[in-house]
Amino acid sequence: EAGVAQSPRYKIIEKRQSVAFWCNPISGHATLYWYQQILGQGPKLLIQFQNNGVVDDSQLPKDRFSAERLKGVDSTLKIQPAKLEDSAVYLCASSLNSLQGLLGGGLKNTEAFFGQGTRLTVV
Amino acid sequence: SQQGEEDPQALSIQEGENATMNCSYKTSINNLQWYRQNSGRGLVHLILIRSNEREKHSGRLRVTLDTSKKSSSLLITASRAADTASYFCATASSYGQNFVFGPGTRLSVLP
């Protein structure tokens, strides 16, 4: 089974520029996550999608970050404009969790599969 | 603020020794998971323990969960140099599915 694909692997941009990251989750996985991992810290959730709907974006800096998953499959995360403190690894993850499981009240938390991440450096 | 908090922040042991890492969390959870991250790589899922479970094994890994103390431990037995990595605990709340990660424990296994 193919894993979670992310591109690009590395990106260097100047502050105030824009950047976009792409993620293709494992086929059939309903839930997709974007995490930000600053060097030496644990991953911090930015946004969680269930199919093409947003479940949680409470920690997404919406003045500069945006994400979409229009067809409920792959997703893009954009930063516009970038700041120096946005330098981090951006991790995409997916899990199988089904909408049926959610609606039925039986929240089944299955493991998340992570991509290799995109390392962003803002200079 | 992050839910999980691993302890210690860094651990250095000799090959063959056991490594124990702890995770404490603040609010009620549905399950707790442990992940490994090699330098510059993505996270790899190791083991999931549900809130109604107390202990779980997978190969050389043993995870315990004490919901009364809101804590978990990960034991790696007979460690190998290849176990050198950062280890994170992640909690999933009772009412949501997002995983909240702690800052991690950096394990170094010396040959």
DSSP string covering B71-101, please?
A: EEEEEE-S--GGG-EEEEEEEEESS---EEE
Looking at the predicted structure, is the pLDDT value of residue A104 above 90?
no
Taking CB atoms and an 8 Å limit, are A114 and B43 in contact across chains?
yes
Taking CB atoms and an 8 Å limit, are A109 and B48 in contact across chains?
yes
Cβ of residue A66 closer than 8 Å to a chain B Cβ? no
- B33-90: pLDDT as tens digits: 999 999 878 899 999 898 999 999 999 999 999 999 999 999 999 999 999 999 999 9
Q: Which of B44, B48, B101 sits opposite A43 (nearest CB)?
A: B101
What's the average model confidence in pLDDT over A31-38? 94
What's the average model confidence in pLDDT over A27-43? 92
pLDDT band at residue A106, thresholds of 50, 70 and 90? very low
Instruction: Please give the backbone phi and psi of residue B107, each rounded to the nearest 5 degrees, phi first.
Output: -105, 130
User: Would you state the pLDDT for residue A72?
Assistant: 85
One-letter amino acid of B72: S
Residues 6+ apart with CB under 8 A from B105: B6, B7, B8, B9, B10, B11, B21, B86, B87, B88
Q: Which of A33, A93, A107 sits opposite B30 (nearest CB)?
A: A107
- B85-110: pLDDT as tens digits: 999 999 887 655 677 888 899 999 99
Which of B19, B18, B16, B17 minimizes the C-alpha distance to B8?
A: B19
User: Would you state the pLDDT for residue A101?
Assistant: 44
Distance, CA of A34 to CA of A56 (rounded, Å) = 11
Taking CB atoms and an 8 Å limit, are B96 and A56 in contact across chains?
yes
- In chain B, residues with a C-beta closer than 8 Å to the C-beta of A40 are 103
